[in-house]
Chains A and B, each alone.
Chain A
Amino acid sequence: MTALKRRRGAAVLAGGVATLMLLAACSSDSSTDATATDEATATEEATTDVAAGCEAYADYLGNEGASVSIFTSILPPEQGLFEQSWSEFESCTGIDIVYEGSDQFEAQLPTRIAGGNAPDIAFIPQPGLLAKLVADGGPVAAPEGTVSNVDTYWNPAWKSYGTVDGTFYAAPLGSNMKSFVWYSPKTFAANGYTVPTTWDELWALSDQMVADGVKPWCGGIESGGATGWAATDWLEQIMLRMYGGEVYDKWVNHELLFESPEVNAAMDVLAGWMKNPDYVNGGFGNVQTIATTAFQDAGGPILKGECGMLQQASFYANFWTNFQEGATVGPDGDAFAFYLPAIDEGIAPQPVVGGGEFVAAFADRAEVAAVQNYLSSAEFATSKAALGTWVSANSGVPSDTYAEGSIDQLSAQYLTDLGGTFRFDASDLMPAAVGAGAMWTEMTAWFAEDKPTAEVLKAIDAAWPAS
C-alpha cells in the first residue's frame, strides 16, 4: 500500500516537472525566432536606396533603418489612411513607422510611460492630457523644425494648446470644426431662404421660419454616458462670440466664474435660442425633448422639413445617410453646413470653436524628430488630406486638396484662417469634474427640468476642483 502510494506520488511529480520543462523549452524557442525575424526585416529596409522622386524628403534623411513607434487612439479604417499617407516618407527615408492603435489609449498611455515602455510618439486627443503627462514628466520638447512649421502654418492659438508652462511640446495633427450650422440646401432653395452671414440675419431667418410654420431649430444632447456635451458646445459658441478669445481663456481657467454676469448673459442668449419654445424642438416636440433626443438623431427632421437648422460639428456630415438613404452632403445637396456667424467682428473676428489631436514625442532621437517634423509639415498634411475624411488646420494645405464643395474643404477654410479667432472646445480643457461632469449634467438639467440658470451655474462652480 505504501509502495503503491509512493510510486503514484513519483509519477505525479515527474508529470509536473515534465510539464514545466516543456513550457520553458517552448517559450524560449519562440522568442529567439521572433528576434531573428525582426533583425532580418530591419536589415532589408536599411539597404533600400534613396530613389528618384524623394527630393522632398531630403531634410529627413540620415536615419536609414531606424524605427519609430506611434501610439494612438485612432483605429482602422483611419489607421490605413495614416499608413498610406506616410508610406512615401518611409520608403524615401528608410524610417519604419510602427503604428499601434488602442481603444484604451488614454488609460494605457500613462501606464506605459510609468512602466518605462513609452512609445516614441503619441497622438494626444486633448490638451488637458498633454498637460497631465508633462506634469508627470514624459514628453520631450518639440524639435526646432516642428516649432518653425507650427509658427509658419498654424493659427497661433494652436501652438498655445501644444504648450505647457512655456515649453512647446506638441504640434497639432488633425482638426475638427464645431462652429457649423447644418441645414438643407434643397429646402432653403424651395422656400427662398438665403444662408445668413451675420448674427442678426440668423435670427431674422429663424423668425421667418417661425412665420412660415416651421420650427427653425432642432437639437439633441442625449449621448449615453456623455449626455450634455452638445449643450456645452452651444454655450462655448456663444461665449467666444460675445466676449472674444481672452475672456474665453479666462473662463476655461476659471478666472471667470460661471456665476459671473458674462456667463449669465451668455446663458440668456442660449435660452432665447435653444430654450425658446417658438424655435425648438423641430420634429421632436417641446424644449424638454432636447434632453432625451440622441445627438445622432437630432438632424433627422431637417430632411423631413420639420426643422430648419441644427448647430453641430463637421463630423455630422457622416450622419445624413442614416436619416435618408442616398442623402447627399453638398452646397446643393440634401444637407450642408454654413458657418455660425460672428456676433461682432470687432470683439472676435471669425470665431471658431474646434478640436484636434496633438503629436507628442517621448524620445529625443534624430529619427523621432524627423517624423515629428514631417508630421507638422504642409507636405504631410496635404498627403493625408488628399486621402479624404480628414482636415488639417495647417494653412500650407492648398484648398483644392479637399474635394470641391465638401464639408472638409469648408472646415479647412475656417480652420486655416490665420486671422480668425480659434479656440479649443472649452469643456475638453476644463477639469474632468466640470468638463466631463457638472457641466454636462447641469446643462442637461437646465433643459430637462428647467432648472434655474443661477442654480445651474452655481452648481458648476461648486464642482470646480479646489487647487
Chain B
Amino acid sequence: MDELLDGLPKLGSAAAAIALFFAALLVLFLIGGRVRGKFQGPVALAVFLGPAVILVTMGLIVPAGRTIYGSFLDANQEEFIGFSNYSWIFETQWGTLTNTILWIVITPIASTGLGLTLALLLDRMKRESVAKSLIFMPMAISFVGASIIWGLMYEYRPPTSEQVGLLSQIVMWFGVEEPPNWILWQPFNNYLLMIIMIWIQVGFAMVVLSAAIKNISSDVVEAAELDGAVGWKLFSRVTIPMIRATLIVVLTTIMIAVLKIFDIVRTMTNGNFGTQVVANEMYAQSFVQFNQGHGNALAVVLFIGVIPLIIYNIIQLRKERAIR
C-alpha cells in the first residue's frame, strides 16, 4: 500500500481528494435527510442548494466581482483610478472593438446560414452520414491547429517563386499576376480569419439543425404540402418556424464562442495588421504587459457583451417551454 502510494503520489492524492469529497457529501446528505419537523424544509434546501451556491460563489461571483473592482484600479492593482481604464479602451481600442463586433455579427450568421443550407441539401441524400461526418470533422480540430492549417493556405511567396499558399496559387491560376500578402491585406484579413471560425462551426450548426429538421413531424409537412406549400414557401413558412428555437440556440452559442475568440487571432496575427479582438487584447494586457487594470476592464466589456445574448437565449427558451 505504501509503495503504491509513493509511486503514484499524484494519482493517489487526486483519488483521495475525490473520495474525501464524496464521503463528506454522504455524511452531509445523511444528516440533511434525517431532520424532521419544522426545520425539514430549510435544512433540505440548504443541504441541496448549499454546495452549488458555494461553488458558484467561489468560481463565478467572487472572481467577477474582483474583476469589476480591479477594472477601476491601476496596472498593479494598487491605486483607484476611476474610469481611466475604460476611457483608455474607448480612446485607443476602437479598432479592437469594431473588429470584435464584425466577428460577432458575421461569423454566427455565416456559420448558421451555411449549416442550414448544408442540412437541407444533405437531408435524405444518399450516404448522408459520410458527407456530414466530413463537414463535421473540422469541429474536432483545435482552433490553434486549424489556424496553423489555414496559415499555410494563406502563406505568401513572391509571384516569381514556387507557391506554398493554396489561395495564392488558385488566384494565380485565374490569371492574377500579383496575389496580395493575404494576412496583411486590410481589412479583408479579418474576413480571412473569420473563415477559419466558420469552417469549424459550420459542422456544429449543420448537425444540430439537421436533427431539428428531421424532428419536424411528417404530418405537418404533408398537411402543408396538401395546402400547396412547396419549395421556398414550405421552407420559409413551415421549416423555419418549426426549427426557430434550435436556430436561435445555434446562433447564440456560436455568438458566445466568437465573443471569446482568442486562439485564432493569436495564432494567425497576434492582433497585428488591424485584426485585434477584445479577448486577445485582454490576454496581452493582463499576461504579457502585466497591466491588470486594462485587462480587467476589457474582461468587463466582454462580460457586458455576453449578458444580453444570454438573457435573450433564456427568454427564447422560456417562450418555447410556455408553448409546449
Q: Which residues of B contact A285 (CB under 8 A)?
A: 156-158, 181
A203, chain B: closest CB distance, angstroms: 24
Interface string of B21-37 (1 = CB under 8 A from A): 01110110010011000
- Whether the pair B184, A292 counts as a contact (CB closer than 8 A) is yes
Tell me if B2 is interfacial: C-beta within 8 Å of chain A.
Answer: yes
Q: Which residues of A contact B16 (CB under 8 A)?
A: 23, 26-27
Tell me if A441 is interfacial: C-beta within 8 Å of chain B.
Answer: yes
Tell me if A53 is interfacial: C-beta within 8 Å of chain B.
Answer: no
Tell me if B186 is interfacial: C-beta within 8 Å of chain A.
Answer: yes
Contact of B30 among A9, A27, A30 (CB under 8 A): A9
- Whether the pair A445, B23 counts as a contact (CB closer than 8 A) is no
Tell me if A181 is interfacial: C-beta within 8 Å of chain B.
Answer: no
Contact of A449 among B5, B27, B273, B284 (CB under 8 A): B273
* Residues of B contacting A: mostly: helix
Interface residues of B in 227-284 (CB under 8 A from A): 266-267, 269-274, 284
* Residues of A contacting B: mostly: helix
Query: A433-B291, A437-B288 given as contacts; is B20 within 8 A of A227 (CB)?
Result: no
- Whether the pair A224, B266 counts as a contact (CB closer than 8 A) is yes
Report how many residues on chain A are interfacial, defined by Cβ distance under 8 Å: 38
Q: Residue on B with the closest CB to A436?
A: B288
- Whether the pair B19, A23 counts as a contact (CB closer than 8 A) is yes
Tell me if A289 is interfacial: C-beta within 8 Å of chain B.
Answer: yes
Report how far A13 CA is from B25 CA in the complex, Å. Answer: 10
Q: Which residues of A contact B75 (CB under 8 A)?
A: 433, 465
Q: Which residues of B contact A225 (CB under 8 A)?
A: 266, 270, 284, 288
- Whether the pair B267, A224 counts as a contact (CB closer than 8 A) is yes
- Whether the pair A437, B284 counts as a contact (CB closer than 8 A) is yes
A53, chain B: closest CB distance, angstroms: 37
Tell me if B146 is interfacial: C-beta within 8 Å of chain A.
Answer: no
Tell me if B1 is interfacial: C-beta within 8 Å of chain A.
Answer: yes
Interface string of A5-30 (1 = CB under 8 A from B): 00001001101110110010011011
Counting from the closest, the 10 A-B pairs by CB-CB distance are A285-B158, A437-B289, A19-B23, A16-B26, A16-B23, A433-B289, A16-B27, A432-B289, A432-B290, A444-B272
Q: Besides the contacts A9-B34, A292-B183, A449-B274, what 20 more A-B pairs have beta carbons closer than 8 Å? A: A16-B27, A23-B16, A26-B1, A26-B5, A29-B5, A30-B5, A224-B267, A225-B284, A225-B288, A227-B272, A284-B157, A285-B156, A285-B157, A285-B181, A286-B181, A288-B181, A289-B158, A433-B75, A436-B288, A445-B273
Q: Taking beta carbons and an 8 Å cutoff, which residues of A are in contact with B?
A: 9, 12-13, 15-17, 19-20, 23, 26-27, 29-30, 33-34, 224-228, 283-286, 288-289, 291-292, 432-433, 436-437, 441, 444-445, 448-449, 465
19 contacts between A and B (CB under 8 A): A9-B30, A13-B27, A26-B5, A33-B6, A225-B270, A225-B284, A226-B270, A227-B269, A227-B272, A283-B161, A284-B158, A288-B184, A291-B184, A432-B288, A433-B75, A433-B291, A441-B271, A444-B273, A465-B75
